[in-house]
Amino acid sequence: MVSSSRPAADTRPPRRLIVGITGATGVIYGVRLLQLLRDMPGVETHLMISDAGVLNLHQELEMRRKQVEALAHVVHNVRDIGAAIASGSFQSDGMIIAPCSMKTLASVANGLSDNLITRAADVVLKERRRLVLMVRETPFNLAHLRNMTSVTEMGGVIFPPLPGFYHRPQSIAEMVDHTLGRVLDLFAIQHTLTPRWNGLKAD
Ligand SMILES: Cc1cc2nc3c(=O)[nH]c(=O)nc-3n(C[C@H](O)[C@H](O)[C@H](O)COP(=O)(O)O)c2cc1C
């Protein structure tokens, strides 16, 4: 019998999550997601930001591309269609597009793979991995709704960042974290962002 006082080395591969930030309003979701994942041991993030995403980072958060890229473990150029994540042989746990514009949704829904974000999403779908699109537009036209249906039929998760109010959020940050907690739940990533619902309190 072999005994050792040292814990076994953790040889598990990192959990790889691909993150896309596109030009819908709500880039705070992508930025906060990267902050959360950066602090989680054993998680490796792969980031791409579309050109419109860069515009919105500046408009909404006064952030530059480099500041956001610094939050990721690996950064890919959205035009680098030859990147590792463009291949199904690249092992990942899946992908989150946060936020996801209607343009990117349309591209994913129709398998266009016209940039690295939509190619990576296409790969995640074909490999039957988890794809979460934090789609944002209001109101929706029929094309938006049909594209959301198509992605759902292919196994993707349409996750519009719609805040709940039953936990009485006190700030935008709290609303964002609550929503992202539900996104992390979809990847079985442990967190304490979302107070778990224990039923209505009796008077
Ligand atoms: C300030 C701003 C806010 C925008 N908000 C949205 C939005 O909420 N949803 C959306 O689908 N497009 C929105 N757009 C338009 C997209 O940025 C545009 O369709 C772009 O081509 C999307 O490209 P991408 O998906 O490659 O990032 C917005 C554009 C700007 C400049």
The class of domain 38-161 in CATH terms is: alpha beta
How confident is the model at residue 171, as a pLDDT? 96
Find the 23 Cα to ligand 1 centroid distance in Å.
Answer: 4
The residue contributing the CA closest to ligand 1 atom 13 is 24
How confident is the model at residue 17, as a pLDDT? 98
**Would you say how long the chain is, in residues?**
203
Atom in ligand 1 nearest the alpha carbon of residue 26? 8
Q: What is the pLDDT of residues 118-146, one digit of tens each?
A: 999 999 999 999 999 999 999 999 999 99
Q: What is the DSSP string of 99-140?
A: EE-HHHHHHHHTT---SHHHHHHHHHHHTT-EEEEEE--SS-
Q: Which residues line the annotated binding site? A: 23-25, 50, 101-104, 136, 166, 182
The best mutation among 101, 148, 158, 162 to test binding of ligand 1, ranked by most ligand atoms within 8 Å of the C-beta, falls on 101
Atom in ligand 1 nearest the alpha carbon of residue 105? 25
Residues 6+ apart with CB under 8 A from 12: 42
Pocket of ligand 1 (CB under 6 A): 22-25, 50, 52-53, 55-56, 59, 101-104, 136-137
How confident is the model at residue 7, as a pLDDT? 61
Answer whether 0.85 is exceeded by the pTM: yes
How confident is the model at residue 5, as a pLDDT? 60
Enumerate the H helices of the chain as residue ranges: 27-38, 51-61, 65-69, 102-109, 116-126, 142-153, 172-186
How confident is the model at residue 6, as a pLDDT? 63
Delimit the domains of the chain by residue range.
Answer: 38-161
The residue contributing the CA closest to ligand 1 atom 16 is 23
Q: Which residues of the chain have pLDDT under 50?
A: 1
How confident is the model at residue 1, as a pLDDT? 47
Dist CA 178 CA 194 (whole Å) = 5
